[in-house]
Amino acid sequence: MTTILTNAWLLTLDDALTEHRAGWLQIDGDTITALGSGTRPTVENAEIIDCNGDIVMPGTVNAHCHMGMSVFRGLGEDVDDRLYRYILPLERKFVTPEMVRVGSALSALEMIQGGVTTVADMYYFETEVGRVAAQSGLRAIVGQTLADFDPPDHKDFDQGFARVEELVDEFAGHKLVTPSIAPHAPYSTGLKVMERVARWSAGHPVVPVQMHLAESALEVAWARDNHNQSTVAVARDAGLLKPNLICAHCLQLDDADITMMSEAQVCAVTNPRSNGKAGRGIAPVEKLRNAGIPTGIGSDGAMSGNTLDLFSQFAPVSMFAKLLGGSRKPLPALDVIRMATIEGARSLSLNLKTGSLEAGKQADLIRISLAAPRLHPIYDAYSMLVFAAMPTDVTDTMVAGRWLMRNRQVETLDPHKTLRDAMQIATQFKAEMTRIDEAAR
């Protein structure tokens, strides 16, 4: 099957940042085979889609997410101790494979509607997340979390590693879903388990490692008090600082930490909305990128950042960099869009497949309507995308040549069932929260 998009404003995000204002793009099967300006190719029996001047660009890459947690969105927002009062008790009681499936489907629906085509996830019962991603058509890295705080799907690390093995076995060689191992954080696994993860990873070099790193002042204090060094140095000594490590958050870093990360060729992910909302600080994104560290943008979980599209992240990540620099210059709009596409793909080691519109790459793309008056006039397309566009401007989403959404209609999930299932779980949560509050009186 050949599909040709015509009359499109193509933002390719290739190395030359090529644009075609009246462009066309040809897709054969799951692959972009040609693109350009002017007269489109003539291919017998091809589907021709007139984009009416809309923007067509690479799909966005949500480089750090917890899909199963979308059912916790907005829960206990103004309660200082909500983690220990509500979240952890609810997780221990209600996080099951079915709950993770329902939460992941809700997240997948939201991301498809918001123009996300690739996601890196880490949570519990991660095989369920992988199955939902495969069903919905998203490209995904799915990481089985390992932690020592009585997580809901493993009572000890032996069980946790067994779940990792199951995940790898199920998705080895999958076209869209890449299995991953995800030690939660240095403080929540400890040096010995991190060393075990490093040894396991050495035997599985194509499996990415995901980890929260330098996320909070408490984590930095743990590393200092227990190891007399930074949390990044603890990860280095454990053997985890390697090119397949995806470091989420990266807030509490000094120059020596950034140098260590750069020399080890790790990748980083910033989560501006989640971290800003929690008051945890601002990631040194400019320093990371200037050190040659590929840095993507993530939403974190919906419990923390509420929304899972990247349009909600664009302005905060740019504004935070400008606040740090005291100027309008840091992290211009073009760099933000690069972080959300090709650089985000590079942070997940997927840049040879996705992240830009180029012949030979997978057909992972989105179409953005320019009908809304708030988008005009457009002097700079990248500025418009960062500071004015919204996820609802995305009309079509494609991954590997398959339409996941067309004309705002999601084709791979049942939106009504997805929302109904999520609301049923929310009803259980509300009842348990009431019980917790009554018991605390």
Beta-carbon-side half-sphere exposure of residue 308 (alpha carbons within 13 Å): 31
Q: 141-180: per-residue pLDDT in tens?
A: 999 999 998 899 999 999 999 999 999 999 999 999 999 9
Residue pair 183/146 in contact by the 8 Å Cβ criterion: yes
Axis-axis angle for helices 415-440, 97-113 (nearest 10): 120
Q: Please tell me what DSSP assigns to residue 181.
A: E
d(CA 25, CA 7): 9
Beta strand ranges found along 284-437 (DSSP E): 295-297, 365-368, 394-399, 402-406, 409-410
What pLDDT is attached to residue 79? 86
Q: What is the mean pLDDT of residues 319-330?
A: 97
- Residue 362's pLDDT band, with cuts at 50, 70 and 90, is very high
- Residue 78's pLDDT band, with cuts at 50, 70 and 90, is confident
* Tokens of residue 422, six digits: 């999520």
d(CA 259, CA 20): 38
Beta strand pairing status for 402-406 and 394-399?
A: antiparallel
- Residue 92's pLDDT band, with cuts at 50, 70 and 90, is confident
Q: Using CA of residue 317, residue 126, residue 353, residue 19, what is the dihedral sign?
A: negative
pLDDT at 83 exceeding the cut of 90: no
Using CA atoms in the order 355, 359, 363, 366, what is the torsion angle rounded to 10 degrees?
60
What pLDDT is attached to residue 84? 86
Reference 69, options 23, 141, 125; nearest CA is 125
Q: 97-108: per-residue pLDDT in tens?
A: 999 999 999 999
Q: Using CA of residue 176, residue 357, residue 292, residue 273, what is the dihedral sign?
A: negative
pLDDT at 69 exceeding the cut of 90: yes
d(CA 67, CA 422): 12
Question: Can you name the residues that pair with 210 across neighbouring β-strands?
Answer: 246
User: Following DSSP, what letter does each residue of 33-61 receive, concatenated?
Assistant: EEEEESSPP--TT-EEEE-TT-EEEEPEE
How far does the chain reach from its first CA to its final CA, in angstroms? 64
pLDDT at 208 exceeding the cut of 90: yes
- Residue 82's pLDDT band, with cuts at 50, 70 and 90, is confident
Q: Letter for the amino acid at 42?
A: T
Query: What value does the CA radius of gyration of the chain take, rounded to a whole number of Å?
Result: 21
What are the residues whose beta carbons fall under 8 Å from the beta carbon of 63, sequence distance 6 or more? Answer: 119, 120, 246, 248, 269, 296, 297, 298, 344, 347, 348
d(CA 331, CA 346): 18
Q: 20-51: per-residue pLDDT in tens?
A: 999 999 999 999 999 999 999 999 999 999 99
What percentage of the chain exceeds 70 in pLDDT?
100
Q: What is the mean pLDDT of residues 227-245?
A: 98
Give the other-Cβ count within 10 Å of 69's Cβ: 27
The pTM of the full predicted model, rounded to 2 decimals, is 0.97
What percentage of the chain exceeds 90 in pLDDT?
95
What are the residues whose beta carbons fall under 8 Å from the beta carbon of 399, sequence distance 6 or more? Answer: 59, 117, 118, 137, 138, 139, 176, 362, 363, 364
